[in-house]
Amino acid sequence: MTCYNKISAPGKKMAILIDPDKLSVQAILSTVYTANEAGVQMILVGGSLMSTRIDSTIEIIKKNSDIPVVLFPGSLMQLSAKADALLLLSLVSGRNPEYLIGNHVLAAPYIRTTNLEVIPTGYILIQGGNVTSVEYISNTRPIPADKKDLIVATALASEMLGHKLIYLEAGSGAKIHVSLDVVSEVKRRISIPLIVGGGITSSTIADEILEAGADMIVVGTAVEKNVEKINQMMAAIKNY
């Protein structure tokens, strides 16, 4: 089964995000072992900045887990043929051409030489209560959290452009997660899978976002701080 099929299959899912710059090798191993035991469906690898070689991180994960590894690249430096798939992110909430198509053009020849499963993804950054790394690095402004109509219209346009996933992102370490009302309305209006990340710090929040309509949640900062969050949030998912 392809990674896209895993995401789009019936049922609720959880992915953990591993940023190699934020975790030691031992912490990565602890995260992977816990993810294995909890039944996490996917591991994303990436970050806004990255000085650690992404290949070595992926090798560690794949040596110790059968969970699919999907690239969540913050830059062209974060591509690797060792992963299973790539979320080819178009930052459709912003108007910086480099993050809409520019970097994609530069990356395309390399990607074509790999066996990576490419999943075109509409990436929508939403205000999360603080200035995130994504906002600063991409030189784009997030959509205000209370502009539900604009968020929905952006998601619809992304789907019409041919993206296979919509990813609503409040940003790494966001103080405020994407509102349940926004999640619910976006899910009601689109016909492709919906991923939600940023500010998901507890099993209660995870459960609420899934109940609102997310097909998959992505958790990074909370797991970096406490690996047991994986078990707690997967318990919420198993209620569905």
60-100: per-residue pLDDT in tens?
999 999 999 999 999 888 999 999 999 999 999 999 999 99
How far apart are alpha carbons 37 and 66 in whole angstroms? 11
Tell whether the model's pLDDT for residue 172 goes beyond 90. no
What value does the mean pLDDT take over residues 131-157?
94
- Helices (DSSP H) in the chain: which residue ranges? 3-8, 25-38, 54-64, 97, 103-112, 133-138, 148-160, 180-189, 203-212, 221-225, 229-237
Q: Which residue has the higher pLDDT, 68 or 236?
A: 68
DSSP state of 218: E
Mean pLDDT of all residues in 150-160: 98
Express each pLDDT in 22-42 by its tens digit.
Answer: 999 999 999 999 999 999 999
Q: Which residues are bridge partners to 43 per DSSP?
A: 16, 69
What's this model's pTM, rounded to 2 decimal places?
Answer: 0.97
Q: Does the pLDDT value for residue 48 go beyond 80? A: no
Q: What is the mean pLDDT of the chain?
A: 95
For 189, phi then psi, to 5°, come to -95, -20
**CATH architecture classification, 13-237:** Alpha-Beta Barrel (3.20)
* pLDDT surpassing 70 at residue 176: yes
Per-residue pLDDT band at 50 (split at 50, 70, 90): low
Reported confidence tier of residue 53, pLDDT bands at 50, 70, 90: confident
- Residue 51 has what pLDDT? 65
Give yes or no for residue 20 having a pLDDT over 70.
yes
Which one-letter amino acid corresponds to residue 161? L
Tokens of 130: 């603080």
Q: Is the pLDDT of residue 102 over 80?
A: yes
Question: How many helices and strands in the chain, by DSSP H and E?
Answer: 11, 8
Under DSSP, the state recorded for 50 is -
pLDDT (0 to 100) of residue 151 = 98
Q: End-to-end alpha-carbon separation of the chain, Å?
A: 21
Q: Bridge-partner residues for 216, per DSSP?
A: 13, 195
Does the structure show a pLDDT above 90 at 116? yes
Q: Which of 200, 141, 202 is nearest to 173 (CA)?
A: 200
Mean pLDDT of 109-135: 95
Q: What angle do CA 206, 209, 210 make, to 5 degrees?
A: 85
